[in-house]
Amino acid sequence: MSSESVSRVGLSMPRGFQVSGVACGIKSSGKPDVSLIVTEKPAVAAGVYTTNRVCAAPVILDRQRTPMEGFRAVVTNSGNANACTGEQGMLDSLAMTEMTARSCGISADQVLVMSTGIIGEHLDMKKIQAGISSAAENLGSGLDSLFAAADGILTTDLVRKVVSRTVELDGQEVTITGIAKGSGMIAPNMATMLGVIMTDARLSGSTAEKILQEVCESTFNAISVDGHTSTNDTVLLVASGAAQTAEISNADIPKFQSELEIVCSELAHAIVDDGEGATHVMEISVTGCGSEKDAMTIAKAIGASPLVKTAIAGADPNWGRIVSAAGYAGPTFDPIDVTLKVNGNILFEMGGPVPFDQAAVSNSMKSNRVICIDISFKEGDSSACFKTCDLTAEYVRINAEYHT
């Protein structure tokens, strides 16, 4: 994957971090498969993890260690999820922390681990050891190193995912930079996604955890590709504190959280846009509900419908599939009060379809990567937004051939 796949404009590394990504042979393709992020001094780390009861060894390990106020490194391998691997899987995750500690001159209990890839196979620890050693030797703080780290966590992704924002807090410029992976097995709570958000802001462990949980709810927990919650989903927020002499004040937390939400939202959008086989992104906006929960429930039902997703893939303005998905979602509403728009075109209102130019609407769907589905009710003032992608034959091919 070349650096040109992501523009360098607006990207920067937060202070206090060194990163790298290398290939060690876990992937038969020879692409990068080990990523290392190291802080120059002890830092704060918080995490949000998969809700799947069947979770991978690295998730179990990281849950036990976060929030952490003595963090020094996170090591990631791709190509092998180290999930459903029993006691040996836990031993291998612990071994990765020890290998990283020896290579970086830190303590093993200061290290977190992430893994992604095929489920149910044990790691080749000789390759992992070689990869960690090489990654430690290639640490850097420039954009080339950042891109290498971003590439090292990818699996079926077609593009790397990197986002940066800067914000001034108490007269000091703070940087927030995130890398993520995700293309398939993406569902709310969370999405096989991995993400590390680095910042040189100074946060406490409890503040970092609270902010991350709130931000994930409206970003990574509001996307889907195929409705399949992974065993390995992990998002980490790591704060080096290198840009500030004092912890973020309570007055500045909302400002920081707003910028963090933008970073995570852009990464979440990039995951959906890179959905396996996807030709369209579906942005589903639901308004006029009695509660945010009802609005999100309806949005997720529409986004999860294979019939809706395939209609979008075929540029078919099939309003019946969308409205009926809202109808079986669960929340109560009066169909006479429903209005549905696709790409700004009204297709349904007052309990029935309205005349519209099917060819024109279809052409608007064909010519736009993003399809806007707006459905409104008159049950209240609550709303929700949900992003997903269409369902194509290419998705079936990718996942039919993934393991074999």
pLDDT 10s digits, 136-160: 999 999 999 999 999 999 988 888 9
Pick the catalytic residue from 192, 229, 231, 287: 192
pLDDT band at 399 (very low <50, low <70, confident <90, very high): confident
Return the closest-CA partner of residue 114 out of 183, 31, 181, 200: 181
The whole-number pLDDT of residue 182 equals: 80
The whole-number pLDDT of residue 30 equals: 93
Buried b (16+ CB within 10 A) or exposed e, 27-43: beeebbbbbbbbbeebb
What's the mean pLDDT in 1-27? Answer: 82
As a whole number of Å, the end-to-end CA separation of the chain is 24
Asked if residue 187 has pLDDT above 50, the reply is: no
Asked if residue 71 has pLDDT above 60, the reply is: yes
Residue 290 CB: number of other CB atoms within 10 A? 15
Task: Please name the residue that has the structure tokens 């195929």.
Answer: 226
In angstroms, the CA 248 to CA 201 distance is 7
In angstroms, the CA 246 to CA 257 distance is 17
- Assign domain 3-273 to a CATH class: alpha beta
In angstroms, the CA 308 to CA 322 distance is 6
Give whichever of 217-221, 224-228, 273-277, 333-337 has the largest mean pLDDT.
333-337
The whole-number pLDDT of residue 5 equals: 54
Query: 250: Cβ–Cβ under 8 A, 6 or more apart, which residues?
Result: none
- Assign domain 281-400 to a CATH class: alpha beta
Would the CATH topology of 3-273 be identical to that of 281-400? no
The share of the chain scoring above pLDDT 90, in percent, equals 79
pLDDT band at 1 (very low <50, low <70, confident <90, very high): very low
376: left (phi over 0), alpha (psi -120 to 50) or beta: beta
Domain boundaries, the chain: 3-273, 281-400
Task: Please name the residue that has the structure tokens 């190509």.
Answer: 79
Q: Which residues pair with 43 in a beta bridge?
A: 71
Q: Give how far the C-alpha of residue 401 lies from the chain's centroid of Cα atoms, to the nearest Å.
A: 24
Task: Please name the residue that has the structure tokens 């955890």.
Answer: 209
Query: Which stretch of 77-86, 184-193, 194-203, 223-232 has the lowest confidence by average pLDDT?
Result: 184-193
Q: The tokens of 47 are what? A: 């995490």
The whole-number pLDDT of residue 318 equals: 96
- Of residues 77 and 1, the one with the higher pLDDT is 77
* Side chain identity, residue 196: V
Active site residue 192: yes
What's the mean pLDDT in 80-103? Answer: 96
Number of H helices, E strands in the chain: 11, 14
Asked if residue 114 has pLDDT above 60, the reply is: yes
Task: Please name the residue that has the structure tokens 């020879």.
Answer: 30
What's the mean pLDDT in 46-67? Answer: 92
For residue 359, give the 3-state DSSP assignment: helix
Task: Please name the residue that has the structure tokens 């036990």.
Answer: 64
Task: Please name the residue that has the structure tokens 């992104």.
Answer: 281
Asked if residue 183 has pLDDT above 80, the reply is: no
Asked if residue 230 has pLDDT above 80, the reply is: no
pLDDT band at 51 (very low <50, low <70, confident <90, very high): confident
In angstroms, the CA 145 to CA 197 distance is 15
The whole-number pLDDT of residue 200 equals: 98
